[in-house]
Amino acid sequence: DSGTRPDPRKNPAVTPSSFPKLGAWMLGDPQTGDCPSCVIGDNPNWCGPQLRHNGRSNNGFADGHVESMKGFWYYTNTPWLDPASGGQ
């Protein structure tokens, strides 16, 4: 699918007008985690969510459910991308 290039200085780090990263498929934290420079840089695989469905992204969870969410949850050090925090 596709994602966007997030801005780690903003909260949320993505908006409906964020720069698209077409074909990106691996969601990552814009400042922490395995490869933040991949998320905010030109790496074609890593990205932030793309808010293209009425300002929302469709997010799949490990338990199998999918939820349409606004960008409020995606920011630097977000617990939503930290399995130890469990999205709290």
* Domain boundary assignment for the chain: 2-76
Q: Is the predicted pLDDT of residue 86 greater than 90, yes or no?
A: no
Whole-number Å distance between alpha carbons of 86 and 83: 5
pLDDT tens per residue across span 55-76 = 999 988 888 999 999 999 999 9
Q: Is the predicted pLDDT of residue 87 greater than 70, yes or no?
A: no
How far is Cα of residue 18 from the mean position of the Cα atoms in its chain?
11
| Residue 18: DSSP 8-state | S
Q: Are 33 and 43 in contact (CB under 8 A)?
A: no
pTM of the model: 0.83
Q: Are 19 and 33 in contact (CB under 8 A)?
A: no
Three-state DSSP at 67 gives strand
